[in-house]
Structure 1
Amino acid sequence: MRYMMTYDLMETARNTNQWLGATASAMASYPMFSAFPNPALNWMAAWGEVTERTYQRMVVKPDWGIRTFTCEDGKDHLVEITPVIERDFGDLLHFRVNGRKEQPRKVLVVAPMSGHYATLLRSTVKSLLVNCEVYITDWHNARDIPVSAGKFDVEDYTQYLVDFMREMGPETHVVAICQPAPLTLAATAYLAELDPAAQPTTLTLIGGPIDPDATPTEVTDFGRRVTMGQLEETMIQRVGFKYKGVGRMVYPGLLQLSSFMSMNSERHSKAFNDQIMRVSRGEASDHDAHNRFYDEYLAVMDMTAEFYLSTVERIFKNREIARNEFVVNGHKIDLSKITNVAVKTVEGANDDISAPGQCIAALDLCTGLPDSKKASHVEPGAGHYGIFAGRSWRDNIRPLVIDFMNSNVRKPKRASKPANKNSAA
């Protein structure tokens, strides 16, 4: 599998399916056929339209689509997305609302690098923009990063987070969603020990695999069943000649997408069949619920091979975070060094990816943190996606997270008054 030809063949198959959809849509929509109404032609045109869009969006990075924000003055203010730090493998972005006074909470959202772009958290960002200054990690597609940029594994990812937190300062509230939760916890402990002045105020971990073995799921079982050699042989490919990262070893986004889809194949099949019927009846629209969801869900990115393999081996198989044995650049991280950062975990009762028990394990690992600075929440009826982007997030979880931030704001230290040595003064 580790050949450019395999990568290019997969891209060719995707491109062919997109072309087949476009061809079917064009042929079945030929104006002359309107003189001979035929439901089969309507279905064919609908199938082509849905198929073309499905395969086309797999290689397109979605736009943030956050252009304006309505403030308390009732006016729409432009939102400027500006890079604060730009790196080869990811940037730190700031969503700045022009003309609005700075908000009391500075929030860093750590987006997952698990096959989707950071834009998957668009609704999360929108909900926080209401009363927060929002920053986010925007990871790059590995296929577009030249080999000359070097490697990028879990240690490099952690170091990026350390640098981002240092840049933002100690008044930052960090929210890590899903995959980056264990590495964000490690980055916080790194700062707590080596640069305590830069450690954030609060850390909220949402649906992350801190201890994958606490509550096994299909995802964690897969990591146990497959050896690292099998993963490297079957999942890793070299980027083809079409992209800047030609020759780079990656875990292709299309392979990751196939894994996502297979976990709920019946649900996805029904969703696409229903959409085809809606299009054939003229009931679909460009921005209906189906297209809004799948425009984001199907847009996938490649991960560097070293990041994917080190995540499976060190986070899932060896459980280095769960055993407090994680090492970054030769320095052993000690989670007990977190003594002044309030930590909250959020889990979904119906989460089938990171089941309840995996994330809350972080609180037991923070042995140096008093109970008054620990909090946890399990959202009833919520799945993995719902705990950070659905109704459960909007109605229940977000208010709890904001309250947690507010109740743990550090009071600035008062400067000590210098002693007056002049007794006559």
Structure 2
Amino acid sequence: MRFMAAYDMMETMRNANAWIGATARTMGSFPATAMVPNPAFKMLAAWGEVTERSFGRMNAKPDWNLAPVSSSDGTDRIVEIETVLERPFGDLIHFNVQGRDPMARRILLIAPMSGHYATLLRSTVVSLLPDADVYITDWHNARDIPVSKGKFDVEDYTLYLVDFMKELGPDINVIAVCQPAPLTLAATALLAEQEPEAQPATLTLIGGPIDPDAAATDVTDFGARVTMGQLEQSAIQRVGFSYAGVGRMVYPGLLQLSSFISMNRETHATAMWNQVLAVANGTASDHDKHNKFYDEYLSVMDMPAEFYLSTVERIFKGLEIAKNEFVVDGHKVDIGKITDVAVKTVEGGKDDISAPGQCVAAHGLLTGLPDSMKANYIEPEAGHYGIFAGGSWRRNIRPLVLDFIDSNAGRKPTAKATGQAKLRSVEDDMPKPLDQSGKIAV
């Protein structure tokens, strides 16, 4: 599989399916077909429209398309995207609400590098912008990064996070979503050891695999079954000549997308067929609920091969974070060195990607942090995406995270701190056992 031909073949199949969809849409939409009282033509056009859009989105980076933010004086303020730090594999960007005074809350969202673009967190950003200055990590598509820029693995990722936190200063509140949670925890610990004055004010970890073995999912089962040799041979491909990263070894986004879809194949198939019926009946729209979700969900990016392989080998198989044995640039990181950064974990009761128990395991590693600065919350009915981008996030989780930030902003006690806690302890918030048979929230 590690050849350009394999990569080009996948892209050819995607392109061909988009072309077939466009052809079907055109044939079913011929004006002459309107004279034939047969719904087959309308269904053909509808199927073609949904197919063309679906496969076409897989090759495009979504725009942020952020609406203006209403201010307290009743005016709508334009959101401008600024690059704060530019790096080969990812930038630190700021959503600057023009004309607005600096906000007391400053939040850095750590977006996943797991096959989707940072725009997957668009609704998260939109929900936070009225109440905070928001920054986010904008990871680049590996196929667009020349080989001359070098490698990028889990250690490089962690060092990027360290640089981003240092750039924003100690009053920043970090929220890591899913995949980057363990590496964000490690980056914070690295700062605690080497530059404690640069540590963030708070750290919120949402649905991340701190200890993948704490609760089994299809993701962890796959990681346990496959060997690293099998994974490298079957999943890694070399970028073709059509892109700036020609020759770079990557884990293609299309492969990652196929694995995501296979986890809930029936759900996605039903959603697509219902959309075909909606288009045929004239009840669909360009920005309806289905298109808003799948335009983002189907837009995928390639990951550097070394990042993907080192994530599987060191985070999932070796459990280096869970065992507090993670090494960055030759230095063993001790998560117990975090003593004055309040940490909150958030989990979804029906999360079938990072199941309840995986993220809250972070608190067991924070041996130097008082219980009064640890908090955990579980949203019983939320799937993986619901805990950061759905109704559960907006109604329940977001207010709790903002309260957590406000309660701990600027608070820097030592590990010996005593007294009445401002937060409920982890033990108080520990969830009762839940049924984990729920499907992904779509």
Q: CA RMSD in A?
A: 1.0
The farther-off stretch of 65-74 and 246-255 is 65-74
Cα offsets for 1:183-238 (capped at 9, x unmatched):
00000000000000100010000000000001111110100000000000000000
Q: Counterpart of 1:420?
A: none
What amino acid does structure 1 have at the position aligned with 2:11? E
* 2:358 is equivalent to residue 367 of structure 1: no
The question of whether the paired residues in 2 share the 8 Å contact of 1:189 and 1:334 is answered with yes
- Structure 1 unaligned regions, length at least 5: 414-425
Cα offsets for 1:261-291 (capped at 9, x unmatched):
0000000000011110111111111001110
Q: Counterpart of 1:126?
A: 126
Cα distance in structure 2, aligned partners of 1:158 and 1:167: 14
What amino acid does structure 1 have at the position aligned with 2:53? R
Q: Counterpart of 1:270?
A: 270
For residues 380-395 of structure 1, what are the structure 2 equivalents within 5 Å?
A: 380-395=380-395
The question of whether the paired residues in 1 share the 8 Å contact of 2:220 and 2:316 is answered with yes
Cα distance in structure 2, aligned partners of 1:198 and 1:347: 27
Q: Counterpart of 1:184?
A: 184
For residues 5-404 of structure 1, what are the structure 2 equivalents within 5 Å?
A: 5-404=5-404
Cα distance in structure 2, aligned partners of 1:401 and 1:47: 42
- 1:74 Cα deviation from its structure 2 partner: 1.3
Q: Counterpart of 2:422?
A: none
Cα distance in structure 1, aligned partners of 2:49 and 2:348: 35
The question of whether the paired residues in 1 share the 8 Å contact of 2:22 and 2:48 is answered with yes
Cα distance in structure 2, aligned partners of 1:36 and 1:372: 72
Cα offsets for 1:118-166 (capped at 9, x unmatched):
0000000011101100000000000000000000000000000000000
- 1:73 Cα deviation from its structure 2 partner: 1.3
What amino acid does structure 1 have at the position aligned with 2:344? K
Cα distance in structure 1, aligned partners of 2:336 and 2:272: 48
What amino acid does structure 2 have at the position aligned with 1:294? Y
- 1:35 Cα deviation from its structure 2 partner: 1.6
SS at match of 2:212: coil
- Structure 2 unaligned regions, length at least 5: 414-442
The question of whether the paired residues in 1 share the 8 Å contact of 2:340 and 2:412 is answered with no
SS at match of 2:205: strand
What amino acid does structure 2 have at the position aligned with 1:163? D
Runs of 4+ in 1 over 6 A off after TM superposition: none
The question of whether the paired residues in 2 share the 8 Å contact of 1:237 and 1:252 is answered with yes
Greater CA radius of gyration, 1 or 2?
Answer: 1
Q: Counterpart of 1:406?
A: 406
Cα distance in structure 1, aligned partners of 2:96 and 2:305: 34
Cα distance in structure 2, aligned partners of 1:100 and 1:403: 22
What amino acid does structure 2 have at the position aligned with 1:128? L
- 1:37 Cα deviation from its structure 2 partner: 2.5
Q: Counterpart of 2:439?
A: none
Cα distance in structure 2, aligned partners of 1:369 and 1:19: 56
Cα offsets for 1:306-338 (capped at 9, x unmatched):
000000000000000000000000010000100
- 1:67 Cα deviation from its structure 2 partner: 4.1
What amino acid does structure 2 have at the position aligned with 1:176? A
Cα distance in structure 1, aligned partners of 2:345 and 2:92: 23
The question of whether the paired residues in 2 share the 8 Å contact of 1:67 and 1:80 is answered with no
What amino acid does structure 1 have at the position aligned with 2:398? R
SS at match of 1:213: helix
- 1:182 Cα deviation from its structure 2 partner: 0.1
Identity of aligned residues (%): 69
Q: Counterpart of 1:416?
A: none
Q: Counterpart of 1:421?
A: none
The question of whether the paired residues in 1 share the 8 Å contact of 2:212 and 2:354 is answered with yes
What amino acid does structure 2 have at the position aligned with 1:60? A
Cα offsets for 1:12-67 (capped at 9, x unmatched):
11101100010111111111111223100000001111110010000000000114
Cα distance in structure 2, aligned partners of 1:190 and 1:24: 55
Aligned residues: 413
- 1:409 Cα deviation from its structure 2 partner: 1.5
The question of whether the paired residues in 1 share the 8 Å contact of 2:201 and 2:411 is answered with no
Cα distance in structure 2, aligned partners of 1:184 and 1:84: 19
Cα distance in structure 2, aligned partners of 1:309 and 1:73: 50
The question of whether the paired residues in 1 share the 8 Å contact of 2:92 and 2:137 is answered with yes
Q: Counterpart of 1:4?
A: 4
